[in-house]
Chains A and B, each alone.
Chain A
Amino acid sequence: MHEWTGRLAADVVTPDEELEREFDARLVESSRLAFRVAYSVLRQREDAEDVAQDAFARAHRRFRQLRDPDRFCGWLVKMVWRMALDRRRSAHRRATREAAHQGLRAATAERGGEERSQLLWEAIDALPEKLRSVIVLASIEGHDVAAVARLLGIPEGTVKSRLFLARQQLKERLQCLNTDTKTR
């Protein structure tokens, strides 16, 4: 009897509780994705975590409309991207970041690996936003073309062409930056 009532109690789950469970599952699945997308724009851990956290909070408020996993991830990626860009555009933060950026650059000029990362970031920053989002998402967690298309809500053909252009421009940019660095 007790076993039966216990099972019944476990089966009786209010819709809100079910929603909370689903949201928690999505949070665990996509927390890394959200963080990395934010980090690709902001390049600061704390800022990236703040932005991802705010995006999850917004997603939680709208979770009834975002229960579909694909829809949730797509919405989350776009939201994180937009919020990160907004944060980055903030004049005060930009000034701080640039100061830190220059300090970091001076400090790491001698270290080969970090210098290479710096060049890569500069090349990514120089990309148009449409190309940047595609190449970043394709580079995070090994997303294939179809996954990136689903996340951004665009056709796979568009993703392919943007990936091609992004890679081309990255290579060219890296070559230029590398030449500049060597001549300094």
Chain B
Amino acid sequence: MPEHGHENSMSDELLDRELAALLSVEPSPAFVARVRMHVASQERTPVSWLNARGLALAVVLVVAVGAAVAIRTGQSRYVDSSQARAGEQPAFVIPQQTPRVTALPAQPSAHPAPEVLISPSESRVVERLLIAARGTVVAPDAHSFEETDATLLPPMPIDIAPIRLEPLAAVAEIESGAVQ
């Protein structure tokens, strides 16, 4: 070790020598053997290491699958409940202002009428039925008229019996002067 107090004129060689002496520490004689044993013990335990990793991976997979199932179940419940709600209300709402089939004027009522709710297929069937039964003309403003494939039946012949009017007897008698 060099003398102290020479730092001002300390050369690189002197510093290097000091550093080399400082770092010339030897490991214990059993160090290499210890490392060999450590490495060998690591080699012997890859299976348990793999098992641990495999177990962790399996846990992660199970959690992921569980989460996916839970999410799907939640979604289907939501759909079910919304469908149930939809079941309470009919699928289609036909507003009262646009009557489909009838040409009759809407009856004014004190209470607002409930909305008529029928499915499209049902509405088509009802239209056909009304047309066949009444023979009435579907209102031209019924926008669903073109949509329906209902065909108009040929007009039914109307038999009207001839009306014969008999001259009133009293008038004839007056004219003939029989009545005074």
| A interface with B by C-beta (< 8 Å) | 23-24, 27-28, 31-32, 35-36, 39-40, 45, 48-49, 52-53, 56-57, 60-61, 112-113, 116-117, 120-121, 124, 135-136, 138-140, 142, 167, 170-171, 174-175, 178
- The complex places the Cα of A136 from the Cα of B28 at a distance, in Å, of 20
- Asked if B7 and A171 sit within 8 Å, CB to CB, the answer is yes
Contacts of A60 in B (CB 8 A): 39, 42-43
- The complex places the Cα of A57 from the Cα of B22 at a distance, in Å, of 27
- The complex places the Cα of A171 from the Cα of B154 at a distance, in Å, of 119
Chain A residue with the shortest CB-CB distance to B4: A116
- Asked if A32 and B27 sit within 8 Å, CB to CB, the answer is yes
- Asked if A49 and B7 sit within 8 Å, CB to CB, the answer is no
- Asked if A28 and B4 sit within 8 Å, CB to CB, the answer is no
**Chain B: interface residue total (CB-CB under 8 A):** 28
- Asked if B31 and A49 sit within 8 Å, CB to CB, the answer is yes
- The complex places the Cα of A38 from the Cα of B23 at a distance, in Å, of 10
In the complex, 26 of the A-B residue pairs with CB atoms within 8 angstroms, ordered by the A residue number, are A27-B35, A27-B36, A28-B32, A31-B35, A32-B27, A36-B24, A40-B23, A45-B28, A48-B27, A49-B31, A49-B34, A52-B27, A52-B31, A53-B31, A53-B35, A56-B35, A57-B38, A60-B39, A112-B4, A116-B4, A116-B18, A121-B22, A136-B19, A139-B23, A175-B7, A175-B8
- Asked if A139 and B22 sit within 8 Å, CB to CB, the answer is yes
- Asked if B27 and A142 sit within 8 Å, CB to CB, the answer is no
| B10 sits at the interface (CB 8 A) | yes
- Asked if B15 and A171 sit within 8 Å, CB to CB, the answer is yes
Q: With A49-B31, A52-B31, A112-B4 in contact, do A174 and B10 touch (Cβ < 8 Å)?
A: yes
- The complex places the Cα of A56 from the Cα of B31 at a distance, in Å, of 11
Contacts of B171 in A (CB 8 A): none
Contacts of A45 in B (CB 8 A): 25, 27-28
Known: A32-B27, A36-B25. 6 other contacts (CB 8 A): A28-B32, A31-B27, A36-B24, A40-B23, A136-B19, A140-B23
- The complex places the Cα of A171 from the Cα of B16 at a distance, in Å, of 11
- The complex places the Cα of A57 from the Cα of B36 at a distance, in Å, of 9
Contacts of A23 in B (CB 8 A): 39
Chain A residue with the shortest CB-CB distance to B9: A171
Contacts of B22 in A (CB 8 A): 117, 120-121, 139
Contacts of A124 in B (CB 8 A): 19
The 8 Å CB contact of A56, one of B12, B25, B28, B39, is: B39
| Chain B: minimal CB distance from A135 (Å) | 7
- Asked if A57 and B42 sit within 8 Å, CB to CB, the answer is yes
| Chain A: minimal CB distance from B83 (Å) | 57
| Chain B: minimal CB distance from A73 (Å) | 15
- Asked if A139 and B7 sit within 8 Å, CB to CB, the answer is no
Residues of chain B from 130 to 180 with CB closer than 8 A to chain A in the complex: none
